[in-house]
Amino acid sequence: MSITWDGAPPPAHIKLGPLAVLRVVWRGLGILLIILAGLAILLPLRLIERPLFGLHRPWTPWITQVVCRLSLFWLGLAYRRSGKPMKGQGAIVANHSSWLDIFVLNAADRIYFVSKSEVAGWPGIGTLARATGTLFIARDRREAKAQTELFQERLLAGQRLLFFPEGTSTDGQRVLPFKTTLFASFFADDLRPRVAVQPVTVVYHAPRGRDARTYGWWGDMEFGTHLLATLALPRHGHVEVIYHPAIAVSDVADRKALAAAAEAVVRDSHRLASDEQGVTESTVT
């Protein structure tokens, strides 16, 4: 593994000829209409759901899940889920490769993302994030106590939170060390005996003949450019979402041990899935 991977040139993008432009328009408009239709159902329903259930959302997460599944279908990116999402209170941690993770992980399970507070102000994306119940946190150690209280409130309300402990997206070919800061929230007295953390591995497989890093989004790569390149692909590969057994927080000594245990599971699974894909491709070719 090169320590300079994030400084390497990005994959070559599809040239936007007439057919590529047609794919961008067809896929882009289709996904936009799917999202708008979902919001047209979700937002009025949330007006009923909020006063009846408060933080608990028994209906609207299903809409988010359907919207994301339909969006992936329209894009042409197949996803395969193995393992089962845990039942009961807790959170999910996953490796982070791309903005596509939002669609992929929402399609696989009904979850609530944890995101940096700046995202709330982003045009379009911020609105979608708020509508789907994203928990926004500030990257400030002075806010640690407040963050713990927010985690506790959401988790005790039955929400499954999901965050990316790597702290950044990658080229999709590796798992970075997990940062331990957010894991500390699970050790609050009211949470530790009641919650678990489930590691999830996300592995992207590029279309045959394309750069293995096709779906990765990292460094100073522009979102718009990567979005257009993704929409323009003649055909797509697939993504695996692998759910591992949950780790009971009460069985772990501290946040560092919990982060290390989750990281080891995700890293080993990612390496195994990537190696198996490489063997399959070399056999076929």
Give the CATH number of the domain where residue 173 resides.
Answer: 3.40.1130
Count other Cβ atoms within 10 Å, centred on residue 176: 18
Give the distance from CA 244 to its chain's centroid.
Answer: 15
* pLDDT of amino acid 2: 43
* pLDDT of amino acid 76: 97
pLDDT (tens digit, 9 = 90+) per residue, 72-107? 999 999 999 999 999 888 999 999 999 999 999 999
The answer to whether residue 281 scores a pLDDT higher than 70 is no
Higher pLDDT: 228 or 118? It is: 228
pLDDT (tens digit, 9 = 90+) per residue, 172-212? 999 999 999 899 989 988 899 999 999 999 999 999 999 99
Count other Cβ atoms within 10 Å, centred on residue 268: 14
Q: Which of 82-86, 95-99, 114-118, 259-263 has the lowest mean pLDDT?
A: 114-118
* pLDDT of amino acid 283: 43
Helices (H), the chain: 18-53, 60-75, 100-108, 125-131, 144-156, 223-232, 255-284
User: Do the beta carbons of residue 68 and residue 61 sit within 8 Å?
Assistant: no
The answer to whether position 8 is within a domain reads: no
The answer to whether position 262 is within a domain reads: yes
pLDDT (tens digit, 9 = 90+) per residue, 139-150? 766 777 777 888
Distance, CA of 261 to CA of 125 (rounded, Å): 32
* pLDDT of amino acid 211: 94
* C-alpha angle 206-211-92 in degrees, rounded to nearest 5: 45
* pLDDT of amino acid 270: 97
What does the pLDDT average to over 38-65?
94
Q: Tell me which residue has tokens 């497989």.
A: 205
The answer to whether position 71 is within a domain reads: yes
Give me 246's structure tokens. Answer: 């949950």
User: Do the beta carbons of residue 278 and residue 232 sit within 8 Å?
Assistant: no
Distance, CA of 113 to CA of 161 (rounded, Å): 6
The answer to whether position 2 is within a domain reads: no
Q: Looking at the 3D structure of the chain, how many domains does it have?
A: 1
| Residue 222 structural domain | 15-284
